[in-house]
Amino acid sequence: MDLRTPLDAALSTKKEYILALKEMGLRTIEDLLLYFPRAYEDLSQFKKLHEAKEGETVTMKGYLHGIKRVPTKNRKMTLIKATFYDDFGSTCEATWFNQPHLLRTLPMDTPVVVAGKVKYSYGKYTLQSPVVETEKQAQVHTGGLIPVYPQHEIITTKWLREKIHPFMYLTKDIEDILPEDILESEDLMPKGNAIKELHFPTSHKALEDAQKRMAYEELFLVQLNAVKSKKEWKSSRENEDKFSGIKMDVDFVKNFFSTLPFEPTGAQKVAIYEIMQDMEKPFPMIRLLEGDVGSGKTVVAATALLHAVLNGYQAVIMAPTEVLARQHMISMSKFIGEFEAKFPTEKPINIQLLVGSLTPKEKKSVHDGLKNGQVDIAVGTHALVQEAVGFHNLGLAIVDEQHRFGVKQREVLMKHGTPHVLTMTATPIPRTLALVAYGDQDLSVLHEMPPGRQPIETKIVPPEHRTTVYRFVEGKIREGQQVYVICSLVDDSDVLELKSVKKEHERLCEVFPEFKVGLLHGRMKAQEKEGVMAAFKNKEIDILVSTSVIEVGIDVPNATIMLIEDADRFGLSQLHQFRGRVGRGDKKSYCFLYTTSNGQTTFTRLKAMTDFTDGFKLAEIDLQLRGPGEVYGVRQSGIPELQFASLTNGVLVSRVRKAAEHLVENSPTLDKFPRLKGMLVKIRTKLDKA
């Protein structure tokens, strides 16, 4: 018998159990060994019966006597009783339901260890369905820290404990995939030991060390994948000799800045510098520009686009929706127009929009222009990476508000000569999280907001003040301003969400009969959504009721009020994203957070929204309060599910990152570490499927 032995050969059990295991993805002994407990019950302390409290699960030493079947009114049920004597002279009844086999199998009148829940009623103790082992047996279910496994219909925790235990000796065959010097320098136990300790911990300390070992490996693989992807992207142009980087040009930057209606912030200047430094290299840039809503990413993008074009390359900027693409078209044309007016180029810069709704003829014209080099800059949606699109010499691709511009899309770009790639996101992810979520990219952060922005007044609104707020809103609409209303996810169901947003829409039509109330939700077709957004932008709608699908980055300066229903149901980062939809013009803006919950934690969380305007700060608080899975954008961004590692441990994340970088430097192909290499292939296949 070895790790690869199939479970149907290794276990003596019924077929239905083997099938159930298969459903859980467990086929071999190794799979079973890698099926880890989700928690532990601490039964390491032996109790005396008379010390046990009602409802407590205890482990006791003693012996059982006089087992018998007791008749019950319900004949389908079997009830078994025995008397338990503990080693300290107390006694109680032990009962089991529907386990007739125990009549034959329970060890009587011999030293045993029992573990179970104690009930106390009518002046006496009962031990309910205790697990029993003779003291001589390996204490699988009793003494010590007891594993609690994720269960699956017929596969119970108890069943798993029994089946896994006999294979513990095989853990010695489990190979370490972490290199030895890392195990040594990080003081990590061998993987086989860790797995053994995870199933049947010998002590709290040993369990902790085992978890640490697994967490390290988990993070290491994530980082290794990221570091390796980055390396691969950067070396993807190695065999192209025609590319020699785009020289940094300080004069151009000065000139361009002089045509802007504002002075760029320090953070913007740093980001532009970092980007130009990347573009200078003979290998493609892969950088993420992270900046809160309104931090001014667009002008950074414009600088990079112009820089590429002035050096004879084509450049594209891609947005997730048509509305956003059109918005970019306007801003880019403006920035570039102003520049050209003052610093004319030999041939005017040709900038074109490429989106799905163009006529076939219009599309073809842009396609042709991109292929023959007539078009310098294309602004568009995914239409830019369609099969039909080819480039003359693409030098830079910018991707805006895309939660994850994956390896796959990069492969599409590689067909076009591996341009420099800059992605932009308004999701403020704390740095350590970004290392995991976007670890395959270099990072620039706009930590500073342009000056002179009016803070958005944020208020928590209890139900009794709803009408007051509506009256205030009414006044603002009369002045010509516009309002967003965000409805929360009722639960995970689309259908319910739709129902609630429709109901809210109807209700608001009644509350504000003289205003135009629009509706936006995820079940609408992309084109319908775009239509509604366009109508809102054109002021044909006063109040826009929406689910959380409302676009990040949408710019309607005239919208000054944001109402969020059931605000407590959203994370802080997401609330912050919503709030960023207002406060984009020169008028004072407001954000009202409705909540019916009056719990202290809810209040503390929402209060952070009124206290802080910095998205990074709020994300940090969210991360502490709710964990990484809930930080907005992270779930979509491809962070793998981590079973052991905590992403809040920034120190560890950075240390692991360094180790991964070191390893890839030492063996870029990973040929020196075949097991790691194999593992990486597996991870990538899994990510590709996701």
Q: How far is the CB of 557 from Mg ion (least distance, A)?
A: 13
Mark residues 250-269: x for contact with Mg ion by CB under 5 A, - for none.
--------------------
Which of residues 553, 583, 615, 633 is near Mg ion by CB under 5 A? 553
Q: Which residues contact 98 (CB under 8 A, 6 or more apart)?
A: 77, 78
Q: Which residues contact 431 (CB under 8 A, 6 or more apart)?
A: 443, 445, 650
Other beta carbons within 10 Å of 235: 13
Q: What are phi and psi of 421, to 5 degrees?
A: -125, 125
Task: Select from 120-128, 257-265, 377-385, 478-486 the region that touches ligand ADP (CB under 6 A).
Answer: 257-265
Which of residues 190, 320, 356, 450 is near ligand ADP by CB under 6 A? 450
Residue 146, beta-bridge partner list? 41
Is residue 647 within 8 Å of 634, Cβ to Cβ? no
Which of residues 190, 192, 294, 640 is near ligand ADP by CB under 6 A? 294
Q: How far is CA 345 from CA 234, 306, 309, 341, 610, in A?
A: 31, 11, 11, 9, 48
Strands (E), 565-659: 590-594
Q: How far is the CB of 476 from Mg ion (least distance, A)?
A: 25
- Residues in region 416-435 near ligand ADP by CB under 6 A: 426
Is 289 a binder of ligand ADP (CB under 6 A)? no
Q: How far is the CB of 332 from ligand ADP (least distance, A)?
A: 11
- Cα(2)–Cα(330) distance, integer angstroms: 65
Residue 633 in tokens: 């954008």
Is residue 170 within 8 Å of 29, Cβ to Cβ? yes
Q: In what order do the strands lie in the sheet with 442-446?
A: 351-354, 377-380, 314-318, 394-400, 420-425, 286-291, 442-446
92 or 399: whose CB is closer to ligand ADP?
399
Residue carrying structure tokens 């013009």: 585
- Cα(210)–Cα(521) distance, integer angstroms: 46
Task: Select from 111-119, 130-138, 230-238, 297-305 the region that touches ligand ADP (CB under 6 A).
Answer: 297-305
| Count of residues of this chain found to bind Mg ion when the rule CB under 5 A is applied | 1
Which of residues 59, 211, 225, 265 is near ligand ADP by CB under 6 A? 265
Q: How far is the CB of 636 from Mg ion (least distance, A)?
A: 18
Is 319 a binder of ligand ADP (CB under 6 A)? no
37 or 553: whose CB is closer to Mg ion?
553
Residue 57, beta-bridge partner list? 117
Mark residues 496-535: x for contact with Mg ion by CB under 5 A, - for none.
----------------------------------------
- Cα(529)–Cα(523) distance, integer angstroms: 9
Which of ligand ADP, Mg ion, none binds 284 (CB below 5-8 Å, type-dependent)?
none
Q: How far is the CB of 264 from ligand ADP (least distance, A)?
A: 5
Q: How far is the CB of 193 from ligand ADP (least distance, A)?
A: 49
- Cα(638)–Cα(403) distance, integer angstroms: 9
Is residue 472 within 8 Å of 459, Cβ to Cβ? no
Is 60 a binder of ligand ADP (CB under 6 A)? no
Q: How far is the CB of 424 from ligand ADP (least distance, A)?
A: 7
Q: How far is the CB of 552 from Mg ion (least distance, A)?
A: 8
Which of residues 142, 193, 298, 546 is near ligand ADP by CB under 6 A? 298
Is 295 a binder of ligand ADP (CB under 6 A)? yes
List interacting residues with Mg ion (CB under 5 A).
Answer: 553
List interacting residues with ligand ADP (CB under 6 A).
Answer: 262, 264-265, 268, 291, 293-299, 426, 450, 553
